[in-house]
Amino acid sequence: MSPAARRWVFLAAIAGLAAFYLWGLAGLPGFGHYPGPYGLIINKIAVAQTNATGVVSAVNFEYRGFDTVGEEFILFMAATGMSVVLRHLRGERERPGLERGIGADEPPTSDAVKQAALVFVGPVLLMGWWLASHAQTSPSGGFQGGVVLATAFILIYLSGGLLTFRRISPVTLTDAVEAVGAAGFAAVGLAAVLMGLPFLYNYLPLGIKPGAVSSSGTIALISFFVGVEVAAAFVLMVGEMLEQTLLVRGEAAT
């Protein structure tokens, strides 16, 4: 199909979609007129039931914790899938001279970038750790914290290059950390089953005061494991992509 014909087919299709959408919109309550009831009920009972003042985290790691297990394994499988897709093709090998410094033919990173990246590594690690460990009290949690923690590793790459990135996050170790994060979440859920309770039942003491870091039982624990898993998964995914810059095809290499 020619690009012009393709465009016309698309415009006709999107006009039809928009018509159906607007038709459906007519039956929706207007923006801001939330009909409930689920959000209203959860907001009313979540703090009393879980001692977590961050209700979004309570929903994610408690009320629909079963979904979040699946969500976490989507990320796990995506990281695994990336390693499979990016495996070395036939005739591909690493560029020679890796130890002498990577990308000697590319312009070097400026000192300003290296310094700025290095300065931010500590604060970003702290922030990621804080986010991953405060799911129960504030707008944070394992997913957000994990991504910020992985950003610290990317900053280390910016500052020190790929060789340093590899040294602080060896693939085998990162794989193991990711597995611990993913399995930890499942183990917290399965422990409840072993105690004769439903899967992912919140069996830990909830703490006395809602909003304390030590409150909310398994929510905080699951969030921690999710943070570990997400951080490792993103470090692996970024690492896989960076490794690609080192590869050359057999016939191209001299």
Partner 1 sequence: MTVLPYLVVVWILAVGLYGMVTSRHLIHLIMCLIVVQSSTYVLLLAVGYRNGAVAPYFSDIGVHTPAVDPVVQALALTDVVVEAAVTGLLLAFAVQAQKRFGTLDPHELVQIKG
Q: Amino acid letter at 36?
A: G
Q: How far is the CB of 152 from partner 1 (least distance, A)?
A: 17
Piece of the chain touching partner 1 by CB under 8 A; list 81-89, 98-106, 123-131, 160-168: 81-89
Q: Given the complex with partner 1, which of 56 and 191 has the nearer CB atom? A: 56
Regarding 27 and contact with partner 1 (CB under 8 A), the answer is no
Q: Which residues of 117-149 are buried (b: 16+ CB within 10 A; e: fewer)?
A: beebbeebbebbbebbbbbbbeebbbbbbbbbb
Q: Given the complex with partner 1, which of 32 and 196 has the nearer CB atom? A: 32
Report CA dihedral (87, 90, 94, 96) to the nearest 10 degrees: 180
Paired residues of 92 in beta bridges: 249
Cα 13 to chain centroid distance, Å, stands at 34
Cα 128 to chain centroid distance, Å, stands at 12
Regarding 7 and contact with partner 1 (CB under 8 A), the answer is yes
Regarding 141 and contact with partner 1 (CB under 8 A), the answer is yes
Q: How far apart are CA 252 and CA 117, in angstroms?
A: 34
The residue from 50, 69, 79, 228 that contacts partner 1 (CB under 8 A) is 79
Sites of contact with partner 1 (CB under 8 A): 3, 6-7, 10, 14, 17-18, 21-22, 25, 28, 30-34, 36, 38-40, 42-44, 46-48, 53-56, 58-60, 64, 67-68, 71, 74-75, 77-79, 81-82, 85-86, 89, 92, 137-139, 141, 143, 147, 210-211, 230, 234, 237, 240-241, 244, 249
